[in-house]
A and B are shown apart, each in its own frame.
Chain A
Amino acid sequence: MSAPASGPRPTTQLLLEHAQIERALRILERLAERALDGHPPDPRHVEVLLEFIRRYVDGLHHGKEERVLFPALGGVGLPQDRGPVACMLAEHDVGRGEVEALSDSLLLLRAGSQDGLARFLWGASRYVALLREHILKEDRTIFPLAERLLPTPARLQLERDFAALEAEVGAEEVARLLRQVEALEAEVLTEAPAR
């Protein structure tokens, strides 16, 4: 067993990031539930979530997977153009489409349009369902597979590449994004359910 330089092993990092992403999904889900009851989301809240999704989910987390982990898996016989990895990549893309839909809904919401509510509900519901299922697949299938298939040198390389990506986004920035979600959690999830 090799001693990692510092911090959790690569797939554990991704699992922990999934836990952070789930926190944002819970907030988005609550906003969607309230939208279904006729209460439009506060555009500021949607903005914070969109920023988190773009920078943390798509930038940092999917960056680690798409730029580092998946190519590494290619080296041990899991191609990117078919099979489970292709499926994960396709789901990342569908997710990006929903993010665009959410972003469009934000414009309408800011204008106070009723269509904004419907679009938001659609995009938010799809994104939450998609990501939850996607995370489950990765946690149960892709990450255990990576643990089994990747030899130690490849794993050490993953650690270095992940660290480089973290540095690219910036530890301060990651902390700021997580703090924003935490603040939103306090604001949105502690409100009495609208009914």
Chain B
Amino acid sequence: MPVPANRPTQALIDEHEKILAMLDVLERLADLAEGGAPPVAAMSRALEFIREFADGVHHQKEEDLLFPAMERRGMPRGAGPVAVMLMEHDEGRAAAGGMQAGLDALAAGQAAGATTYARGARAYASILRDHIAKENQILFPMAEDVLEPEDKAELAVGFDDVDRAAEANIARLCEALDALTAELLGQPQR
């Protein structure tokens, strides 16, 4: 679906919906991992989604395109709301690093890796929920308010380019998300 040229942040809000769905999966995985039988394959697919979709496609659009556009209209990158967003992306990456460490430990036969993964997954979900709320409710409306029509059109083209370059990967990752959601959250939980 092409990005709306008059309202490019709508594309990011749509991506947030997918990421939010993954956060529900992550919390379920954290419970399962701590329940004694860590579903390693699903845990690994969830982390892949975070790395390649949330951090790859989505944060790439924000960090390489949206934030610089705001910077060009005078919003500094080193302080204020954009700096807070960047810091939260980094916090998310650190939490994902914890999940990876947990998977590595599990692969090396250390059962405690399940707890490490669970802790990382819960931290990630909490950081990103808060972060997404701020972006949807405050940062994006602010960007739409201050960016000029030509900035928005340029962003829409840039977002489309990112989507096109990652097209096959995005489709695969979204299918994986659907499969995980069905597998882990499809039945009544707990």
Interfacial residues, chain A to chain B (CB-CB below 8 A): 32-33, 35-38, 114-115, 117-119, 121-122, 125-126, 128-129, 132
Chain A residue contacts of B127, Cβ below 8 A = none
Chain A residue contacts of B111, Cβ below 8 A = none
The answer to whether B81 and A32 touch across the interface, beta carbons within 8 angstroms, is yes
Q: Does B79 contact A (CB under 8 A)?
A: yes
What 11 new A-B contacts, CB under 8 Å, besides A32-B81, A121-B81?
A32-B80, A115-B145, A118-B138, A118-B142, A119-B142, A121-B138, A122-B145, A125-B80, A125-B81, A126-B75, A129-B78
Pick the contact of A126: B74, B84, B134, B137 (CB < 8 A).
Answer: B74
Q: List 22 A-B contacts (CB under 8 A).
A: A32-B80, A33-B84, A36-B81, A36-B134, A36-B138, A37-B134, A37-B138, A38-B133, A38-B138, A114-B141, A117-B138, A118-B142, A118-B145, A119-B142, A121-B138, A122-B146, A125-B76, A125-B79, A125-B81, A128-B80, A129-B80, A132-B79
For chain B, give the interface size range. Answer: 10 to 19
Q: Which of B76, B80, B146 has the most CB of A within 10 A?
A: B80
Chain A residue contacts of B142, Cβ below 8 A = 118-119, 121-122
Contact indicator per residue, chain B 129-152, by CB within 8 Å of chain A (1) or not (0):
000011001110110011000000
Contact indicator per residue, chain B 106-137, by CB within 8 Å of chain A (1) or not (0):
00000000000000000000000000011001
Identity of the chain A residue whose Cβ is nearest the Cβ of B146 in the assembled complex:
A122
Contact indicator per residue, chain B 61-82, by CB within 8 Å of chain A (1) or not (0):
0000000000000111011110
The answer to whether A125 and B75 touch across the interface, beta carbons within 8 angstroms, is yes
Chain B residue contacts of A118, Cβ below 8 A = 138, 141-142, 145
Shortest Cβ distance from residue B72 to the other chain A in the assembled complex, whole angstroms: 13
- Within the assembled complex, what's the spacing in Å between the Cα atoms of A43 and B80? 20
- Within the assembled complex, what's the spacing in Å between the Cα atoms of A122 and B78? 14
